[in-house]
Amino acid sequence: MSKYLKLSYLAVFVLLLGFSGNLQASNGNGHNHDEEDARHSVEEQDSHQNGEASVNTEEDVYDPTPVVMHHIQDGHGFHVAGDFSVALPVILWTDNGLVTFMSSEFHHDITGHHVVEKKGMRFVNLHEDIYQLNKGAENIKMDASHHPVNASKPLDFSITKNVFTLLLAALILCLIFLTSAKKYKKGNGHKVPKGLASFMEPLVVFVRDDIAKPNIGKKYERYMPLLLTMFFLIWTLNLIGLVPFFPGSANMSGNIAFTFSLAVITLLVTNFSGNKGYWKHILLPPVPKALWIIMIPVEIIGVLTKPFALMIRLFANITAGHIIVLSLISLIFIFKTPAMGLVSVPFALFISVLELLVAALQAYIFTMLTALFIGTAVAEDHH
């Protein structure tokens, strides 16, 4: 029995390896374009902005930092390959109301030179931040540390690369789970459903039996939708982020705004579910009264640090994975020899496989800790 189990594990592992091998192969290609483009733009930017020779005397020296940073951060427009990008809507809330236009109007310019004029306002894209030029200003001006001096940032509700990815993930989840749910409605009673649903059900049951039940206890059922949605959304976004080409590659689950929003949801749900015992523990901690002056602030800070840790953990783990893969691929350009690919690609492959694990693991940890926090808030009072 256990022999078969081992064999099947091996088979799954080999499959996974093959799969990620394919991914990685395209990863290398995809990023080559990405990086070349980015390099050009970086060089342009240097020569344009500083008006002087770049800091590096050798023009060929390749700096991976802007490339990596460009990749892991959000952007207007989704670069696909070569000069081809998918334009995404830019939605701005300015003093004169809503302004919308397609990101293609910037013509891939992220140096702030291409000015888009709408409703009498001028906008530029400076490193994927949209700035509104002050009245009368024709061009953006920078101070010594590259901060614009004659422009301000309007509220930016654009459908960026990350928002696009988020919507894609939501769509995928809806497709997968609404299709799965349909299989149950056909009323074949107690039979195990076939196909997609049979694949998804163990995952749903995993969230219920290994995340919700042990951490929350009796009242777990109320929080199942939240935990399931969190788990699958994070996991899906993590996996989409690992796909190296359009429509993947966006670092949504490694974006601080995303993890922040989820952490805030955890914070709100935890504290709104808090029962008497939970609040008593925070506001009237079971320590001598003299210590309350220390303990109460500590407990209140603890309420905030728990979701804060969630936010940082997911952000750092996913972003780090992207940075490592990109850095390894960047080695080829730093050493300026394709032979480096023999080293970079196996390493990047290894990291990518590891990231497949991390993708599931971080989704699990985030959901598990959310369940744990809720569990402490709804736990029966033991004092």
Q: Residue numbers of the site for another protein (CB under 8 A)? A: 69, 72-74, 91, 127-129, 155-160, 162-163, 166-167, 170, 173-174, 177-178, 180-181, 184-185, 189-190, 192-193, 197, 200-201, 204-205, 208, 221, 224-226, 228-229, 233, 255-258, 260-262, 264-265, 315, 319
Cβ nearer to another protein, comparing 14 with 167? 167
Cβ nearer to another protein, comparing 172 with 340? 172
Contacts of 334 (CB under 8 A, 6+ apart): 62, 64, 340
The DSSP bridge pattern shows strands 151-152 and 129-133 to be antiparallel
Cβ nearer to another protein, comparing 255 with 344? 255
Cβ nearer to another protein, comparing 24 with 45? 45
Nearest-approach distance from CB 191 to another protein, in angstroms: 8
Cβ nearer to another protein, comparing 254 with 353? 254
Nearest-approach distance from CB 239 to another protein, in angstroms: 16
Cβ nearer to another protein, comparing 119 with 147? 147
Nearest-approach distance from CB 6 to another protein, in angstroms: 28
Nearest-approach distance from CB 184 to another protein, in angstroms: 4
Cβ nearer to another protein, comparing 61 with 69? 69
Nearest-approach distance from CB 136 to another protein, in angstroms: 27
Nearest-approach distance from CB 7 to another protein, in angstroms: 28
Cβ nearer to another protein, comparing 233 with 371? 233
Assess whether the previous peptide bond of 285 is cis (omega < 30° from 0): no
Query: What is the distance between the alpha carbons of residues 356 and 353, in angstroms, rounded to a whole number?
Result: 5
Residue type, 218: K
Nearest-approach distance from CB 363 to another protein, in angstroms: 14
Nearest-approach distance from CB 14 to another protein, in angstroms: 31
Contacts of 79 (CB under 8 A, 6+ apart): 34, 37, 85, 246
3-class DSSP state for residue 228?
Answer: helix
Contacts of 117 (CB under 8 A, 6+ apart): 123
Comparing CA positions, the residue from 288, 262, 209, 292 lying closest to residue 370 is 262
Burial of 65 (0-12, 13-18, 19+ CB in 10 A): exposed
Question: How many angstroms separate the Cα of 227 from the Cα of each of 207, 219, 372?
Answer: 7, 13, 11
At residue 252, φ and ψ (nearest 5 deg) are -70, -50
Nearest-approach distance from CB 112 to another protein, in angstroms: 13
In sequence order, what are the beta bridge partners of 93? Answer: 98, 155
> Helix (H) and strand (E) counts for the chain?
10, 9
Structure tokens, 176 = 């997968």
Cβ nearer to another protein, comparing 135 with 190? 190
Structure tokens, 75 = 């952007």
DSSP code, position 146: S
3-class DSSP state for residue 153?
Answer: coil
C-alpha dihedral, 331 to 340 to 21 to 40, nearest 10° = 50
Nearest-approach distance from CB 162 to another protein, in angstroms: 6
Cβ nearer to another protein, comparing 169 with 332? 169
